[in-house]
Amino acid sequence: MTFNEDGGGESVGHSAKRRRLLKLAASAGVSATVAGLPFGRSAFGVEPITLRWWSTQAAPDQLKAYKAQIAGFMAAHPGIKVVFEATSDEGYPAQLAAAFAANQAPDIITHLPSYAAQTYFADGLVEPVDDVAVAVGLDKYYPNANDVFKTADGKLCATGLANTAADVMWIRRDLMQKAGVDKVPETWDELRSACKKMQGGRIYGAPLPYGLNSMTSLIMLGFIHRAGGQVFTPDLQVAIDSQATLDALDFYKSMREFCPPGATGYSWGESLTAFVSGSTATGIYGGRVLDNIATQNPGIADSVTCATYPTISKSVPAWTYNDFPCVFIPKKAKNISSSKLFAEYLFDPAGYISELLGAPAHLLPVLKTIASDPRYNSNAIIKKYPKEVELMSAAAASGHNLGYESPAHKPNRRANEIVASNVLAEMVQRVLLNNEPPKPVVGATAKKLESLMKA
């Protein structure tokens, strides 16, 4: 498939957007370059095109899959070299801000959330990828899979690479049975009761995060929705100052006694490890739990299951966080057509399946043709946990995030900056750890959100 070259796009120049990027990078102390993890060496001498590929997903099995994808692409396109560079969920906002500000943006970026792509597109930093989605085959995607990437002008700022059900509840059935918990909790009251019964000895009830980081912010976002609230209205007016937010904070605080002492600093990795290691009876994470248990703690593999995370009452519907991991291309990429060619290649079935199975059940396919492919379904994790994979797939398909709180919401192009600011995590810490009165803290948080939306 051949793509049209547009020469790299427009300059962001001396705008407020550039100043905002520089400020974000400086605040994190990040330089304008990021150390890469190059794969292999090319057999040819003169290499006119080198593509830098950034991703937040870099577990060992995923790196193996990336190596194979890069090797296959370079063999098919001997004039193009691809170099992989890892970033992280916590680090990418500042690292990309520095890269954009210094005109050192990578050529292709994968696995960032949909709202990051929307933010960068709104700031004039991202190239539309409608032609990539067409090249992959629009009929291969699940219905509406790319809706979250549609911009105000109807273009695609990115295309979905995978789905995640990032905050489903994991629970140990063996501990349930031992403690006399007769069913998987569906409400917050039931969850608290179950955690109280299962906690004991060296096992805590839950690994909720209380650190100043993105996980705490996004878990709080989910709790607000599970209390029947929202952070913004569909037309993006601040709506966090509500009884639902107060109820969510009250629940979050009530769970602290069931979490390990170190939870005050927990983020994604610590929370995952707490459940996988057997230190907690429940967990809150995506499907990576299953693969990590298989390799790190197989003794509990037959006892784990998952469900959508409980809500304040059965009358409030489930809400699942899906960051909609995607692929997008910076407008300043050195060679747009080559970047798009590689983006399309990432969906080649053999390589795409290997990439998904680098984190089986965590990264769920966005292509229906892959979900039914025997090469995907024959994976040991997928075969062992069909009920759990089906639940996560359904939850992720109807999932949302701060940039897409509901189907009625406009895309929130400031979601990336809001998450990076830790304003929601700060609210959690002030109320839950510092014991400040919740009502004024929520009001102050609302004002901070209003300022961020106007920035």
- In the chain, how long is the greatest CA-to-CA distance? 68
Neighbours of 255 (CB within 10 A): 21
Half-sphere exposure in the Cβ direction for 60 (13 Å, CA): 3
Half-sphere exposure in the Cβ direction for 418 (13 Å, CA): 28
Region class of 83: left (phi > 0), else alpha (psi between -120 and 50), else beta: beta
Q: What is the mean pLDDT of residues 250-270?
A: 98
pLDDT at 91: 85
Would strands 159-160 and 282-285 be described as parallel, antiparallel, or unpaired? unpaired
pLDDT above 90 (res 54) = yes
DSSP string of 169-207, one letter each residue:
EEEEHHHHHHHT--S---BHHHHHHHHHHH-BTTBBS--
User: Among 108, 76, 78, 86, which residue's Cα sits nearest to residue 39?
Assistant: 86
* pLDDT tens readout for residues 74-91: 999 999 999 999 988 888
CA distance 291 to 293: 5
Q: Answer whether 403's CB lies under 8 Å from 412's CB.
A: yes
Instruction: Tell me the residue type at 203.
Output: I
pTM: 0.85
pLDDT at 148: 94
The secondary structure of residue 265, as a DSSP letter, is: G
* pLDDT tens readout for residues 188-245: 999 999 999 999 999 999 999 999 999 999 999 999 999 999 999 999 999 999 999 9
| Distances from the Cα of 290 to the Cα of 34, 152, 220, 303, 304, angstroms | 31, 38, 24, 11, 8
Q: What is the mean pLDDT of residues 299-323?
A: 98
CA distance 227 to 230: 9
pLDDT at 47: 52
Helix (H, G, I), strand (E, B) or coil at 233: coil
Lowest mean pLDDT across 1-5, 48-52, 193-197, 291-295: 1-5
pLDDT at 48: 74
- Sheet with 304-307: list strands edge to edge: 282-285, 168-172, 304-307
- Domains by residue range for the chain, with CATH: 16-163+323-397 (3.40.190.10), 167-207+273-317 (3.40.190.10), 209-254+422-455 (no CATH)
pLDDT at 20: 55
SS3 per residue for 120-149: HHHCCCEECCHHHHHHHCHHHECCCCCHHH
pLDDT at 11: 42
pLDDT at 22: 47
Q: Is the dihedral of CA 103, 105, 107, 108 positive or negative?
A: negative
pLDDT above 50 (res 112) = yes
